[in-house]
Structure 1
Amino acid sequence: MSQHAVLDNNTHRDLRVRIEPNADLGDAIMSCVTVPAEFRQVQAHFPILFHKNQANGAFNAIALFGFENGENLFLEGGKWDALYRPLALSIQPFLIGRSADGDGPGQVHIDMDHARTGDANGVRLFDEGGQATPYLEDIASRLGLLDAGYRASEAFFAALRQHELLEPLTLEIELDDGAKRSLVGFHIIDEERLRALDAATLGELHEAGYLMPIFMALASLSHITELVARKNRREAHG
């Protein structure tokens, strides 16, 4: 369950949150949502795949951390073994809240039931004078980037659908011990269709700012091999 509250420097003056990577704090996940605006950073470390909502047909992008539910191969001994944490993971337990109609400025909300919230060993959100700490200011900046990325991504995915640039992915991997794992239910950029686009269409995608994240998503797929290697190391060490 979640209990969202608007963050307030009076009500939450002494509230602290845990910020370290930890499976018990919500990091034991095989993927998290990412947005095109951060594909450049994400592709340096993680495969970027696309997931289709079967209920409404909408797509979103995910950064892949493992091959099974609850598996995060970038959690190593309580540390995050990559130089980047995707925005959607790094802002927990915070989120942007808006009015029911979606208009107006966003507000910083916090999930009071999240495992990171309320621990005395955590980091303060406000100082003694009620001013936001540098940590909270950084979180607010990240939330703004993620919110803007979400809002801009709808048009990006519309362009991918328009030009039929997404194809289903079925990936079968065999581990060193002979065990097999499958990745199904995801999509990737259809490189063949991308290559077949004419110059005018490519120019339109570039003008809209979509061509770079498309290339970043394609480049990220090279990390699937590295993810398999992480899985093999994890299995070998129990």
Structure 2
Amino acid sequence: MTSASSTTATDDAWEPLASDRHGSWRLAAGDMAHAVTVPFVPVLIAEFAAAARVFPIVFSNSDPSPIAILGLDQHNLFVKDGVWESEFAARIGDAQAAGEQQADIYVPAYIRRHPFALLRTTDEQHVLAIDKTSPLLRKEGEEGTPLFENGKPSATVASALQFCEAFRQQAEATMAFVRALEARELLIERRANITLHSGRSLGLTGFRIIDADKFARLDGPTIVEWHAKGWLAPVHFHLASLSRLQALARRQADADAEHDGRTNANGQSESQLPTASA
């Protein structure tokens, strides 16, 4: 798992940030529209507690990175009209009341770091890169905050670098957790078959979950070791998060009802979780 790839941009969209190339560029305030076509994102072990309240957390089948499922049909069900919507708002359809209850809103760090990321160089170093296709960037004009001031990185870039470096470090900690799960053969392949009230069937494949029974049989020394490393709680957060698939199904049903002219109530579709990197 590295910081180089992105679900929201192709690999060739990323380029190292440099004053000679991006000296006049600015970062404009924007919404979450860039994330509307992102149905799965990697999550870090430090995010499990917050993310598990809102999303199902699973592990990719081909690359067992932890992944938050944001949608069942190739779209992020949490973004509507450019706004990251809470479960509360979606459930009662009252945006004003939703403003009074924000605890069920969580935007994964993978989304929040946009349009920045760290790229790994050939000598195993990391440089800050930018998604040159991002709608938040302005290549000319005065809108937004500058990326460079007097040829030097601005406070915006310094903050982005700090965030991305923290993300990279947490990604390494996350992979240590995943390697421990693999070493104990705790990850088992699963699929989800979901039928909406309309009769529409959805399938989700290409993911793994932790075998709860096998986890419960871990030996004492391993339990002590994992407790010391902070790995027990993430296991429980992951297992608890699986119940959020029902909430996703409700969101999908609402989205289908809103766009019924473009959906087939009797159709079937299947989504496969891709190899995901953080």
Using the size of structure 2 for normalisation, the TM-score is 0.74
Choose the corresponding residue for 1:108, options 114, 128, 132. Answer: 128
Q: Does 1:117 align with 2:126?
A: no
Matches within 5 A, 1:158-237: 158-237=179-258
C-alpha spacing 1:191/1:122, structure 2 compared with 1 (3 Å): farther
Aligned 8 A contact 2:19 2:148 in 1 = no
Distance 1:229 1:149 in 2: 32
Aligned 8 A contact 1:50 1:187 in 2 = yes
Q: CA deviation at 1:191?
A: 1.0
Q: CA deviation at 1:143?
A: 0.8
Quote the RMSD (CA, aligned, Å).
Answer: 2.4
Q: CA deviation at 1:213?
A: 1.6
Choose the corresponding residue for 2:67, options 37, 40, 62. Answer: 62
Can you list the C-alpha shifts for 1:8-30, whole angstroms capped at 9, x where unaligned? 3454233123553444x343111
Q: Does 1:20 align with 2:33?
A: no
Query: Which letter does structure 2 place at the counterpart of 1:107?
Result: V
Distance 1:44 1:173 in 2: 20
Other-structure match for 2:92: none
Aligned 8 A contact 1:112 1:118 in 2 = no
Aligned 8 A contact 1:97 1:107 in 2 = yes
- Unpaired stretches in structure 1, ≥5 consecutive residues: none
C-alpha spacing 1:125/1:225, structure 2 compared with 1 (3 Å): farther
Distance 2:136 2:108 in 1: 17
Aligned 8 A contact 1:21 1:75 in 2 = no
Other-structure match for 2:168: 147
C-alpha spacing 1:4/1:171, structure 2 compared with 1 (3 Å): closer
Other-structure match for 1:6: 16
Distance 2:152 2:187 in 1: 46
Query: Which letter does structure 1 place at the counterpart of 2:187?
Result: L
Other-structure match for 1:85: 107
Q: CA deviation at 1:154?
A: 2.5
C-alpha spacing 1:11/1:151, structure 2 compared with 1 (3 Å): same
Other-structure match for 2:102: none
Q: Does 1:29 align with 2:38?
A: yes
Q: CA deviation at 1:126?
A: 3.2
Matches within 5 A, 1:40-55: 40-53=49-62
Matched residue count: 230
C-alpha spacing 1:200/1:146, structure 2 compared with 1 (3 Å): same
Query: Which letter does structure 1 place at the counterpart of 2:202?
Result: R
Using the size of structure 1 for normalisation, the TM-score is 0.85
- Unpaired stretches in structure 2, ≥5 consecutive residues: 1-9, 87-104, 260-278
Distance 1:113 1:137 in 2: 21
